[in-house]
Homo-oligomer: A and B are copies of this chain.
Amino acid sequence: MNRVTRPFHQSDLQILVNDLAPLYGDRIHLSQAVREQHGQGEDSYGCMPPDVVIYPFCTEEVAQIVRLCHQYHIPVIPYGTGTSVEGHLLATQGGVCLDLSEMDQIVEINPQDMDCRVQAGVTREELNKALRYDGLFFPIDPGANASIGGMASTRASGTNAVRYGTMREAVLGLTVVTPQGEIIRTGTRARKSAAGYDLTRMYVGAEGTLGVITEVQLRLHPVPEQIRSAVCSFENLEGAVYTVIEAMQAAIPMARIELLNNLQMKACIKYSKLEGFAEAPTLFLEFHGSPVGVQEQIDLFEEIAGSNGGTQFRWADNTEDRNALWTARHNAYFAAQSLKPGAKAITTDVCVPISRLADCILAAEEAAKESDLLCPIVGHVGDGNFHLLIVFNPADCDELEAARKLSAKVVEGALAVGGTCTGEHGIGSGKKEYLRTEHGNAVEIMATLKRALDPNNIMNPGKVLDI
């Protein structure tokens, strides 16, 4: 971990705090406990606390704070729910952390247009609660109950992306505070537009390095008439993966299709107390549609799965059983960690062309075996995205080193077949070295954008790019 080198004068930070204190009162925090809580995500990169944490209520307050930070060259780190996993929250140069959790207003819901506008701090579960009377839902679910602003910033996806897309497709427009403290709006309420450069997509996935997202316009979807979930075990991993490929080619509109390997199933069975499941490669499935349409999807899927060694379909048709199933899936990361007392996990996040998925997963399993580390695998396989959860003892330097080597090997394998080092977690502090391998000289274009929009490098410095 790099040492903190602050690009600003402590006295300027003091001026900023004094200026804001009368306006923000107890929404400004300088205590070590609050700062430490905000200097880390749910990852193994440790903690680098910011110098001050402020809780703004609205876009105008964010702009006011950022204008002062701009004046004094003080870094700004936007914070949603703290559930990112690539060292996004490390205050590598100190500065001001903007905790947006008080910006939790749902600005509007438009049932006819199936869209809504929310403040950045609204979480996906809060949003779905608000939508339940309109027959609509917001499908993106990256496991954690993350904030919409954070999800937009990391271009998050999750288990529904195979059908409903990622935050790239879900975001129709944004309100952003620029590094100079200006407020801009991107996008419109129209479903599509060819008007000028796609600023919305530029800020989605920029990880807070180009500005602070304060409001998000989202596309919503009608709640399907019928939802059916199931799990299906396979004799071997290839069978499970070929089932996925064939289902996609047959245009079955899968809502969810998730793979767990033997070890991940073992971990989930124990952690989530699943009964009657086999420690075998398993697909977790969900079908959305009309009753007739869902039945047709299921018939076709069962035929494909059967021809690839799939057996033991278990259906979860009531809401309770379905929630238990998907909660177990979402807890895969914690289940993995629980395989070894006191352990942490590094999660890889490669995404590859689906034709190369079986090869890449088998190679990852082989590399894991060689490393002697426990490495369950879970994946959004409809997208070609899988996570090797490398479990290691954080007190053991050799294990950490081996875990990092293994992670690098999995990434190199993915890049070699035209894949990406990160499907949904982002680059953060942890994957910067891979960005250039993946994108070559296109990284210079990214650096040009960053320098042009944030010449003083105050927006979440040290993430995505070192400039």
Contact = CB atoms under 8 A, between A and B. Distances in A.
A191 B225 CA distance: 28
Contact of A351 (B161, B193, B197, B448): B193
A394 interface: no
Interface string A380-424: 000111000000000000000000000000000010011111111
Contacts of A423: 190, 192-194
Given A202-B201, A421-B195, A249 B112 contact: yes
Given A383-B192, A422-B193, A442-B184, A112 B245 contact: yes
A40 interface: no
A46 interface: no
A182 B452 contact: no
Contacts of A421: 195
Interface string A156-199: 11000100011011000000001000101110111111111111
Interface stretch (A14-22, A288-296, A317-325): A288-296
Contacts of A113: 353-355
A278 interface: no
Interface string A106-123: 000011111100000000
A165 B169 CA distance: 10
A112 B420 contact: no
A230 interface: no
A227 to B, nearest CB: 12
B221 A427 contact: no
Select the residue from A204, A249, A431 with max chain B CB neighbours within 10 A: A249
B296 A197 contact: no
Contact of A419 (B190, B245, B383): B190
A352 interface: yes
B443 A196 contact: yes
Contacts of A224: 251
Nearest to A225: B251
Contacts of A422: 193-195
Given A166-B192, A192-B157, A222-B251, A197 B441 contact: no
A273 interface: no
Given A185-B439, A419-B190, A197 B446 contact: yes
Contacts of A355: 110, 112-113
27 contacts: A112-B249, A115-B353, A155-B198, A157-B192, A169-B169, A182-B441, A182-B444, A184-B445, A185-B440, A190-B353, A190-B383, A190-B418, A190-B419, A191-B384, A194-B422, A195-B439, A196-B435, A196-B438, A196-B464, A197-B446, A197-B450, A199-B442, A199-B446, A222-B249, A222-B250, A290-B296, A449-B449
Given A112-B353, A113-B353, 14 more contacts: A112-B355, A114-B248, A161-B192, A168-B201, A182-B441, A184-B442, A186-B439, A188-B420, A190-B385, A190-B418, A190-B423, A196-B427, A197-B210, A199-B445
